[in-house]
Amino acid sequence: MAGSMSFAILFPAPYVIEVSRLRQQLDEAHFAWVTEWRRQQQAFEIENIRFTHDPHWNKRFFSMQAARDGGHWFWQATRIVATCSGLSV
């Protein structure tokens, strides 16, 4: 009995009503936000994008793999010049 009376002194009834009213407003605002968010998400459907396979992808001029492997005459010449320059230093 004494414990419930101390809570009544610390938390009078009007504060409990205000907190529950605030909680209800927060719940309504959150529900409105979730509803709007879900409605907007429906507009962003990701399509399955496919790219055609390029069988000569590693021999293209701007391919990093072609530069590494020397798959193009320019990259072969660049490697030779860089090697000769490195040896001369």
Higher pLDDT, 27 or 59: 27
Domain identity same for 7 and 34: yes
Q: Is residue 66 part of a domain?
A: yes
The per-residue pLDDT for 29 is: 95
Q: Is residue 8 part of a domain?
A: yes
How much is the pTM? Answer: 0.33
User: Structurally, how many domains does the chain consist of?
Assistant: 2
Mean pLDDT of 27-48: 83
Query: pLDDT tens-digit profile of 38-88?
Result: 888 776 666 676 767 777 777 777 777 777 776 677 777 887 888 887 777
Q: How far apart are CA 11 and CA 16, in angstroms?
A: 7
Query: pLDDT tens-digit profile of 9-20?
Result: 666 666 666 778
**Could you tell me the end-to-end alpha-carbon distance of the chain, in angstroms, rounded to an integer?**
94
Q: Is residue 9 part of a domain?
A: yes
Domain residue limits at 75: 59-88
The angle subtended at Cα 53 by Cα 50 and Cα 57, nearest 5°, is: 130
Domain identity same for 6 and 36: yes
